[in-house]
Amino acid sequence: MAHIHTNPGEHDLTTSAFVVRDDLETPKLLLHMHKKLHVLLQPGGHVELREDPWQAITHELKEESGYALEELEILQPKGALRQVTNAKLHPVPVVVNTHNFDDEGTHKHTDISFAFLAHDAPKSQPEEGESNDIRWLSLEELSALDSSEIFENVREIGKYVLTHVYQGWERFDATRVSSV
């Protein structure tokens, strides 16, 4: 979806997924080559006007990686609240960050990043029009990427997911997120 806010100083809300795959020789992180920006990014996109962040990441994962929620587990901090009455409780994100989207710093994205675990390749391919340049990167491969291939904040969050979240957070069926 196009940017909802296009005036200087406005923000778009986005959501993204750091997916770790654990059936390979070493845990690896999913990144894809963004078709417009020409850098490696995690799957994600804009939260549309009639959806919440969880709905957005559900369809963005399917569109950009081929993964359906049924194929994934969500990684959550130990002891995190799992359900509340009369409200949808979203999973705890790995990070919520605001960053400049343009070189002038006049347009910003606030991104809610979730961590997921996959035990296999996705059953589907990315949707037509999405990048087919999908890469599974180990911690060493992620660290070795040239700065022209990846934004530094994506590298830092990806390394954090591989070294702390993957090993220390609990795993839950991603389809069991509470709903109203």
Q: What is the pLDDT of residues 120-141, one digit of tens each?
A: 999 999 999 999 999 999 999 9
Greater confidence, 81 or 47? 47
Domain ranges for the chain, please list them: 11-176
May I ask the CATH class of domain 11-176?
alpha beta
Give CA–CA dist 17/53, Å, rounded. Answer: 11
The reported pTM is 0.92
Dump the DSSP string for the chain.
---S--STT-EEEEEEEEEEE-SSSS-EEEEEE-TTT-SEE-SEEEPPTT--HHHHHHHHHHHHH---GGGEEEEE-TT-----TTS--PPPPSEEEEEESSTTS-SEEEEEEEEEEESS--SSPPPTTS---EEEE-HHHHHHS-TTTB-HHHHHHHHHIIIIIHHHSEEEEGGG----
Q: Is the pLDDT of residue 180 over 60?
A: no
Kindly report, residue by residue over 46-71, the tens digit of the pLDDT: 998 889 999 999 999 999 999 999 99
